[in-house]
Amino acid sequence: MPKKTKKNNPRYVVGIDLGGTKILAAVVDDKGQVLGRSKRKTRGKTDNATDPETVTDRVVTCVQDAVAAAGLKLGDIAAVGASAPGPVNVETGFVARMANLPGWEEGFAFGPELSKRLKLPVWVDNDVNLGTLGEVVYGAGRGMKDVIGIFVGTGIGGGIVLGGKLRRGVRWAAGEIGHMFVDISAVQRGGPVCGCGEPGHVEAIASRGAISRRLAAAIAAGEPTLLATEVKDESDLTSGAIRRAWEAGDELTRRVIAETQEVMGLLIASVVNLLDPEGIILGGGLVESLGDAYVEPVRRHAYAHFFLPDRAGEVKIMRAALGDDATILGAAVLARSGL
């Protein structure tokens, strides 16, 4: 954990969102306003390299560009917060192996390396944690202290804010909502598997990836669907393709989405029955793509299964408000507050 420095202007921090595809960086002031931003591909044009040294250099360039875009110099920045797409030891800034960044081995000193290059204090945390923190401080969860973020995309990620603080866990592994079991029969008798290889997890059933696999199998089996003309293989079944089919009233797509909305409602009910938070924030690619048409049925299913049903409405179920900015703003909050 870096030490706080007072010599730089505490009004400005940099938030970084490092993903497997792109790097986002932004200069953020103490009101959460973005003063300058920059975007860059994670992989090189020619070499496709994702080794940690090369990617860290690209992050540095992205930060320099964002600072320049804000009309500032690195010396004006007080601290840097960065997300990484996997488990992070927030105390040391060391990351675990990152599934979407081949070559990042367990124990790469991402925070310290970035700090050395930028000559600034750097805090690092998991991307979904920081996305949730961003939504709680500046987005859908503003004013709340106990919020669970659930992000539905290729997988299903989660972040937990309790008492205004991120819950990290004893192994820095808290918030793995996608890896909660909702279907023991799939464990016992087999079923579609999760990104982690296990059946029965909610990610194996209700993520955008799981939906795409189900749709692809249905298309292959010759089920009638508008998607058949649009789709060559599973990789074409993006959130956008799913939205277009959904909007066109495609029966297969509507049925599969409706089933996963019930599953997400039950997942939320489980998490609420365990933690009884003030709010649940739903975000991620699929939620952004389908919007309230996704959130409303999930909310209805969830409320139907809460413990203390008469008081279900006291737990708000909200749609994420910040899109791609959630993680960089959460990273800025981390930079400002430290752990």
Name which of 176 and 288 has its Cβ closer to its own copies: 176
Beta carbon of residue 99, minimum distance to its own copies (angstroms, whole number): 12
Contact 151, 206 (CB under 8 A): no
Residues in the chain: 339
Beta carbon of residue 273, minimum distance to its own copies (angstroms, whole number): 4
Spatial neighbors of 194 by CB under 8 A, at least 6 apart, are 155, 178, 179, 201, 203, 204
Q: Measured between alpha carbons, how far is 152 from 21 in angstroms, rounded to an integer? A: 17
- DSSP-assigned states of every residue in 69-80: HTT--GGG--EE
Contact 320, 279 (CB under 8 A): no
Name which of 184 and 248 has its Cβ closer to its own copies: 184
Beta carbon of residue 270, minimum distance to its own copies (angstroms, whole number): 4
As beta bridge partners, residue 248 has none
Beta carbon of residue 223, minimum distance to its own copies (angstroms, whole number): 20
Name which of 101 and 205 has its Cβ closer to its own copies: 205
| Contact set with its own copies (CB under 8 A) | 87, 96, 146, 158, 160, 162, 167-177, 179-185, 187-188, 196, 198, 200, 205, 262-263, 266-267, 269-271, 273-278, 305, 307-308, 311, 314-315
Spatial neighbors of 95 by CB under 8 A, at least 6 apart, are 84, 86, 87, 88, 89, 104, 107, 108, 110, 124
Q: What is the Rg, in whole angstroms, of the alpha carbon atoms belonging to the chain?
A: 20
Name which of 147 and 241 has its Cβ closer to its own copies: 147
Name which of 65 and 262 has its Cβ closer to its own copies: 262
Beta carbon of residue 152, minimum distance to its own copies (angstroms, whole number): 16
Beta carbon of residue 85, minimum distance to its own copies (angstroms, whole number): 15
- Residue 161 token pair: 């804010």
Name which of 58 and 299 has its Cβ closer to its own copies: 299
Instruction: Name the pairing type of β-strands 79-84 and 122-126.
Output: parallel
Q: Identify which of 336, 295, 337 has the alpha carbon closest to the alpha carbon of residue 78.
A: 336
N-terminal to C-terminal alpha carbon distance within the chain: 8
Contact 42, 22 (CB under 8 A): yes
Name which of 228 and 275 has its Cβ closer to its own copies: 275
Q: What DSSP state is assigned to residue 5? A: -
Beta carbon of residue 200, minimum distance to its own copies (angstroms, whole number): 7
